[in-house]
């Protein structure tokens, strides 16, 4: 299955913006292919304001979040793979979603002998008069 993280991120982002709140994205800046202003990274993490007023050309459609923004007056193109997104939440009240590192590594449902046994045992109903 595809990762659910990009879909959930877009949904939470829309929900936050629809409620006139400020969406913040918490990012693990130590992962590969993360392009963020390093001078604002603290303890390997950075919090990005991704409100429509704060960024230009926000794209959350694929497997990364990308946008143009100014940091300390300097323009920059930011790229954050969805795997590096740790949380998306509203600045004003902290409501949003935290993502687990192993979210997309959950095992597939086991199709072991139990399911075969259940299918071959036949119906368990009987006629009552």
pLDDT at 43 over 60: yes
Q: What domain range includes position 95? A: 5-99
What is the layout of strands, in order, in the sheet containing 64-71? 56-59, 64-71, 74-81
- 93 in helix, strand or coil? coil
Question: Is pLDDT larger for residue 63 or for residue 113?
Answer: 63
First to last CA, the chain: 48
> Is residue 9 a contact partner of residue 15, using CB atoms and an 8 Å limit?
no
Torsion sign, CA atoms 11, 53, 57, 41 = negative
Task: State the CATH number of the domain containing residue 67.
Answer: 2.30.30.220
Q: What is the pLDDT of residue 98?
A: 97
Structure tokens at 84: 């590096």
**In this structure, is residue 112 part of a structural domain?**
no
Q: How many domains does the chain have?
A: 1
Structure tokens at 70: 């100014």
**In this structure, is residue 124 part of a structural domain?**
no
pLDDT digits (tens, 9 = 90+) for 50-98: 999 999 999 998 899 999 999 999 999 999 999 999 999 999 999 999 9
pTM for this structure? 0.78
**In this structure, is residue 52 part of a structural domain?**
yes
- DSSP run (H or E) holding 80: strand 74-81
**In this structure, is residue 117 part of a structural domain?**
no
Please give the share of the chain, as a percent, with pLDDT higher than 90. 72
- DSSP run (H or E) holding 67: strand 64-71
């Amino acid at each position: 299955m595809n990762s659910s993280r990009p879909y959930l991120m877009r949904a939470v982002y829309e929900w936050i913006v629809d409620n006139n709140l400020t969406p913040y994205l918490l990012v693990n800046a130590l992962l590969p292919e993360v392009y963020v202003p390093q001078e604002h990274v603290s303890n390997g993490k950075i919090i990005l304001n991704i409100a429509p007023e704060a960024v230009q050309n926000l794209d959350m459609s694929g497997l990364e979040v990308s946008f143009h923004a100014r940091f300390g007056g300097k323009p920059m193109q930011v790229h954050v793979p969805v795997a590096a997104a740790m949380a998306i939440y509203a600045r004003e009240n902290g409501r949003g979603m935290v993502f687990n590192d192993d979210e997309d590594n959950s095992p597939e449902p086991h199709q072991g002998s139990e399911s075969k046994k259940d299918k071959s045992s036949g119906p368990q109903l009987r006629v009552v008069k």
